[in-house]
């Protein structure tokens, strides 16, 4: 069979071959059942995966691989396990792992306000723990790589950035961190234009407490110079302008220059809500995607979170530029942002990845929930059912699409020779696979992450028997509980902690109604 023939190829002659040397430790997964993209054979039974160093060296029927048993450091039995490429969570914000269940569902512009109210006393250690908490949840539920659009309550703060990357370094997940940077808020400016007087509030005044934008750009550059491609390339830095309406053209230009200087990607929010899209039109005189195109931001290696409120011609711009859109269906529903036109994006050949978004708008980091909702929310009666997303397309977005968002399409997303060894073994005897039919349907509609048995990232086993091997999860939970108990975190305090919060929410709601419904301002 053609597919097995391909899988049996070794990496000799491949561009990666010179990176795999005889001295690298080898890991053998023996007799697993490999998820296959072919319609007739959804699983290739009884396969071996040979890993050398950070990469997969060979894959094929059990017992047939050309390997020296004396060089194999470890053998893991794959009996009863399904092997699939690791999921990529292509959009989240790790600080929000401590902000899950912070507010009831609200429109994005209102939901943001209480997040800046300081119920949590942030410290570099707490930021570290926050990144760890989410990374552990992701690894245990089959996510091997994350794109963290890291916003903090202090702008680009080197201590918080380093603490976050240290967490990813320690826990063993593949991480691309894009520190969010911003210098304006066109939503507030649109309100001020209309005579709204926003009261003093941590969200309204946030820029006043942050270092000057030049200092933040320098901190961002220092961060990239320190961490980009650390630990054999497992840790990467991206440039993360916060969003179209949160960044001045000058800041966007600085971000572009940084990404070109360090040959790294760009990640930003784009036209997430109808209000944002309307205000971008009003203030910039054009749609957000057309504006990004004019600025030179749309290109391979750029990924846009959400991109829901698109104009005519935007899908062509996105497809033509090889820009990836990260679809976040749970967050989009939680904040009532709208529905990304997934079928139309697929139709136009747009690169689509999937993301959880931060836990303040999801409220978990489990990508299996994202897969399932992607497989449900687009099944609308006004759409031709043949355009409803197929499980293969959903898993492709969660693996290959995520790889494209990280600009690692040549290296991630497949269990095949020469690829980076990022994969997951799931227990096919667990209830979600019983009785087993099409594994793609099981993975999208039945699995919840609980069947994940083993996770390998960059050639290292980081989850075994469902438990993270790199850090002590129970100790981390205990430290978080202790920190909250001793640092003024009061679970009873929520949205009304600052007297001005309600006033800001009322004003923003009036602005929304004025712009979207022609209401009074
Ligand atoms: Zn986001």
pLDDT of residue 497: 62
Q: What is the distance in A from the centroid of ligand 1 to the CA of 31? A: 40
- Phi and psi at residue 156, to the nearest 5°: -85, 95
Q: What is the distance in A from the centroid of ligand 1 to the CA of 263? A: 23
Q: What is the distance in A from the centroid of ligand 1 to the CA of 55? A: 31
Q: Which of 87, 19, 88, 12 is nearest to 54 (CA)?
A: 19
Here the tokens at position 307 are 């991109």
Q: What is the distance in A from the centroid of ligand 1 to the CA of 329? A: 12
Q: What is the distance in A from the centroid of ligand 1 to the CA of 153? A: 15
Q: Where are the domains of the chain?
A: 2-79+415-458, 87-378
Kindly report the length of the chain.
521
Q: What is the distance in A from the centroid of ligand 1 to the CA of 74? A: 39
Q: What is the distance in A from the centroid of ligand 1 to the CA of 362? A: 10
Tell me how far apart the alpha carbons of residues 380 and 343 are, in angstroms, rounded to a whole number: 11
DSSP annotation of 117:
S
Q: What is the distance in A from the centroid of ligand 1 to the CA of 12? A: 41
CB burial class (10 A; 0-12, 13-18, 19+) of residue 196? middle
Q: What is the distance in A from the centroid of ligand 1 to the CA of 210? A: 20
Q: What is the distance in A from the centroid of ligand 1 to the CA of 73? A: 41
SS (H, E, C) 292-346: HHHHCCCCCCEEEEECCCCCCCHHHHHHHHCCEEEECHHHHHHCCCCCCCHHHHH
Q: What is the distance in A from the centroid of ligand 1 to the CA of 72? A: 42
521 residues of the chain, pLDDT tens digit each: 333 333 333 333 333 333 455 578 899 999 999 998 776 789 999 999 999 999 999 999 999 998 888 889 999 999 999 999 999 999 999 999 999 988 889 999 999 998 888 667 889 999 999 999 999 999 999 999 999 999 988 899 999 999 999 999 999 999 999 999 999 999 999 999 999 999 999 999 999 989 999 999 999 999 999 999 999 999 999 999 999 999 999 999 999 999 999 999 999 999 999 999 999 999 999 999 999 999 999 999 999 999 999 999 999 999 999 999 999 999 999 999 999 999 999 999 999 999 999 999 999 999 999 999 999 999 999 889 999 999 999 999 999 999 999 999 999 999 999 999 999 999 999 999 999 999 999 999 999 999 999 999 999 999 999 999 999 999 999 999 999 888 877 665 555 567 789 999 999 999 999 999 987 77
SS (H, E, C) 208-253: HHCCCHHHHHHHHHHHHHHHCCECCCCEEECEEECEHHHCCHHHHH
Q: What is the distance in A from the centroid of ligand 1 to the CA of 93? A: 6
Q: Which CATH class is domain 2-79+415-458?
A: mainly beta
Q: What is the distance in A from the centroid of ligand 1 to the CA of 363? A: 12
Q: What is the distance in A from the centroid of ligand 1 to the CA of 270? A: 10
Which residues line ion ligand 1, judged by CB < 5 Å? 357
Question: Same fold for the domain at 2-79+415-458 and the one at 87-378?
Answer: no
> CA dist 251 to 182, 184, 258, 355, Å?
8, 10, 11, 25
- Phi and psi at residue 134, to the nearest 5°: -70, -40
Q: What is the distance in A from the centroid of ligand 1 to the CA of 384? A: 30
Q: What is the distance in A from the centroid of ligand 1 to the CA of 355? A: 9
Q: What is the distance in A from the centroid of ligand 1 to the CA of 231? A: 26
Tell me how far apart the alpha carbons of residues 329 and 285 are, in angstroms, rounded to a whole number: 29
Could you tell me if 326 and 63 are in contact, meaning their C-beta atoms sit under 8 angstroms apart? no
Q: What is the distance in A from the centroid of ligand 1 to the CA of 18? A: 39
Q: What is the distance in A from the centroid of ligand 1 to the CA of 470? A: 28
Q: What is the distance in A from the centroid of ligand 1 to the CA of 328? A: 8
Q: Is 386 helix (H, G, I), strand (E, B) or coil?
A: helix
Tell me how far apart the alpha carbons of residues 160 and 95 are, in angstroms, rounded to a whole number: 10
Q: What is the distance in A from the centroid of ligand 1 to the CA of 440? A: 28
Q: What is the distance in A from the centroid of ligand 1 to the CA of 349? A: 23
Q: What is the distance in A from the centroid of ligand 1 to the CA of 434? A: 35
- Strand 235-237 to 87-92 pairing: unpaired
Question: Sign of the C-alpha dihedral, residues 428, 86, 361, 296?
Answer: negative
Cis preceding-peptide flag for 435 (omega within 30 of 0): yes
pLDDT of residue 4: 32
pLDDT of residue 518: 84
pLDDT of residue 494: 54
Could you tell me if 74 and 454 are in contact, meaning their C-beta atoms sit under 8 angstroms apart? no
pLDDT of residue 60: 96
Q: What is the distance in A from the centroid of ligand 1 to the CA of 181? A: 13
Q: What is the distance in A from the centroid of ligand 1 to the CA of 172? A: 23
Q: What is the distance in A from the centroid of ligand 1 to the CA of 102? A: 15
Tell me how far apart the alpha carbons of residues 359 and 369 are, in angstroms, rounded to a whole number: 13
Strand residues in 105-212 grouped as ranges (E): 143-148, 174-177, 180-181
Tell me how far apart the alpha carbons of residues 223 and 220 are, in angstroms, rounded to a whole number: 5
Q: What is the distance in A from the centroid of ligand 1 to the CA of 180? A: 10
CB-hemisphere CA count at 13 Å for 45?
2
Q: What is the distance in A from the centroid of ligand 1 to the CA of 32? A: 36
Q: Kindly write down the DSSP assignment for every residue of 152-178, as one continuous string.
A: -BTBS-HHHHHHHHHHHHHH--EEEE-
Q: Is 101 helix (H, G, I), strand (E, B) or coil?
A: coil
Q: What is the distance in A from the centroid of ligand 1 to the CA of 3? A: 38
Q: What is the distance in A from the centroid of ligand 1 to the CA of 333? A: 13
Domain 87-378 sits in CATH at 3.20.20.140
Q: What is the distance in A from the centroid of ligand 1 to the CA of 503? A: 24
Q: What is the distance in A from the centroid of ligand 1 to the CA of 357? A: 5
Tell me how far apart the alpha carbons of residues 343 and 335 are, in angstroms, rounded to a whole number: 21
């Amino acid at each position: 069979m053609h597919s097995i023939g391909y899988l049996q190829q070794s990496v000799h002659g491949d561009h990666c071959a010179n990176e795999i040397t005889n001295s690298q430790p080898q890991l053998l997964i023996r007799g697993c059942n490999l998820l296959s993209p072919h319609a007739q054979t959804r699983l290739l039974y009884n396969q071996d995966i040979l890993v050398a160093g950070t990469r997969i060296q060979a894959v094929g029927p059990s017992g047939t691989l050309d390997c020296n048993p004396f060089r194999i450091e470890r053998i893991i039995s794959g009996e009863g396990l399904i092997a699939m490429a690791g999921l990529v969570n292509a959009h989240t914000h790790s600080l929000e792992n401590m902000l899950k269940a912070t507010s009831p569902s609200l429109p994005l512009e209102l939901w943001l306000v209480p997040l800046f109210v300081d119920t949590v006393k942030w410290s570099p250690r707490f930021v570290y723990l926050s990144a760890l908490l989410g990374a552990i949840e992701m690894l245990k539920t089959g996510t091997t790589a994350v794109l963290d659009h890291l916003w903090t309550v202090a702008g680009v703060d080197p201590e918080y950035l380093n603490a976050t990357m240290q967490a990813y370094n320690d826990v063993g997940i593949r991480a691309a961190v894009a520190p969010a940077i911003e210098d304006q808020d066109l939503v507030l400016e649109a309100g001020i234009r209309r005579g709204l007087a926003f009261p003093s509030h941590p969200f309204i005044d946030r820029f006043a407490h942050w270092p000057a934008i030049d200092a933040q750009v320098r901190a961002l550059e220092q961060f990239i110079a320190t961490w980009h491609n650390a630990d054999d390339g497992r840790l990467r830095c991206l440039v993360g302008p916060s969003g179209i309406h949160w960044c001045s053209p000058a800041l966007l230009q600085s971000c572009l220059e940084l990404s070109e200087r360090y040959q790294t990607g760009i990640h930003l929010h784009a036209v997430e809500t109808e209000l944002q899209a309307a205000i971008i039109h009003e203030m910039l005189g054009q749609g957000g995607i057309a504006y990004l195109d004019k600025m030179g931001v749309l290109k391979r290696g750029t990924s846009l979170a959400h991109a829901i409120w698109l104009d005519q011609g935007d899908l062509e711009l996105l497809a033509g530029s090889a820009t990836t859109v990260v679809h976040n269906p749970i967050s989009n529903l939680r904040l009532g942002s709208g529905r990304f036109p997934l079928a139309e994006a697929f139709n136009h050949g747009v690169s689509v990845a999937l993301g959880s978004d931060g836990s303040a708008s999801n409220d978990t980091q489990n990508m299996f929930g994202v897969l399932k909702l992607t497989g449900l929310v687009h099944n609308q009666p006004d759409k031709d059912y043949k355009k409803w997303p197929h499980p293969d397309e959903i898993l492709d977005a969660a693996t290959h699409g995520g790889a494209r968002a990280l600009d690692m399409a040549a290296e991630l997303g497949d269990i095949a020779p020469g690829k980076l060894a990022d994969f997951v073994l799931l227990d096919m005897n667990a209830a979600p696979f019983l009785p087993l039919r099409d594994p793609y349907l099981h993975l999208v509609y039945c699995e919840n992450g609980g069947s994940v048995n083993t996770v390998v990232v960059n050639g290292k086993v980081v989850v075994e028997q469902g438990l993270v091997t790199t850090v002590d999860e129970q100790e981390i939970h205990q430290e978080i509980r202790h920190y909250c108990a001793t640092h003024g975190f009061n679970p009873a305090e929520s949205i009304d902690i600052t007297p001005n919060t309600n006033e800001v929410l009322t004003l923003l709601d009036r602005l929304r109604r004025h712009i979207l419904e022609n209401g009074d301002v």
